[in-house]
Amino acid sequence: MSAEVINLSQLQNDHGDFVERVRKMSGQDVRKCYQCGKCSAGCPVHNCEGMDVSPNRIMRMVQMGMEEDVLRTKTIWICVLCSTCTARCPRDIDIARVMDALRIMSFERKITEPAKTANIFHEMFMNNIKKYGRMYEFGFAVGYTMKTGYMLNLLDVGPATLLKGNLAFFPPHMKNSSQIREIAENVEKIERMEGEH
């Protein structure tokens, strides 16, 4: 039995639309990737088995126009943006930027199932700073744990953390606490107007 032969050039021509949208969103041309695998070899998350698909395979999936599959990987959300891949890429692709762009695309499509906690984390983080202007870490920790059960992992260090005064119990106090909310609203307006043009 022989493996299926893929004509990559043909495939890229047929599915050029996705790679082009990724380029617009990230400023990176994923077509340049020649699969050396350096990104995956150095990826600390991949090396600790945190990803479902290795970074170099994500690049190939983008080249092949596998939009539905790539936006449903855990990898794009679990990437911690350390940019080791970017620093080492011989084709000068900012791979971490591509991951961030794929997140934005996946978020816009409301695809949340591959990385539920990551989605909840980012959404709650933004809501927190929109409300307080600065991160209210204690409030976040409690809210996030109630929603995901996640920080129960860290419950045993909780008392020490509070005792050492490493978590402020009360929300941060500033004069204009709504400034991030206002900026976010302006950004939405700007992006809406751009979409209309």
Give me the residues that bind other proteins (CB under 8 A), please.
25, 44-45, 48-50, 77-78, 80-84, 86-87, 94, 96-97, 100-101, 103-104, 107, 115, 117-118, 121-122, 125-126, 129, 133-135, 137, 144, 150-151, 153-154, 157, 160-161, 164-168, 172, 174-176, 179-180, 182-184, 186-187, 190-191
Whichever of 12 and 107 has its CB closer to other proteins, that residue is: 107
Whichever of 64 and 95 has its CB closer to other proteins, that residue is: 95
Q: What are the φ/ψ torsions at residue 127 (nearest 5 degrees)? A: -60, -40
Whichever of 4 and 156 has its CB closer to other proteins, that residue is: 156
Nearest distance from C-beta of residue 59 to other proteins, angstroms:
16
Nearest distance from C-beta of residue 90 to other proteins, angstroms:
13
> Is the distance from CB of 15 to CB of 64 less than 8 angstroms?
yes
> Is the distance from CB of 58 to CB of 51 less than 8 angstroms?
no
Integer CA distances (angstroms), 116 to 55, 58, 64, 74, in order: 20, 20, 26, 9
> Is the distance from CB of 37 to CB of 56 less than 8 angstroms?
yes
What is residue 37's three-state secondary structure? coil
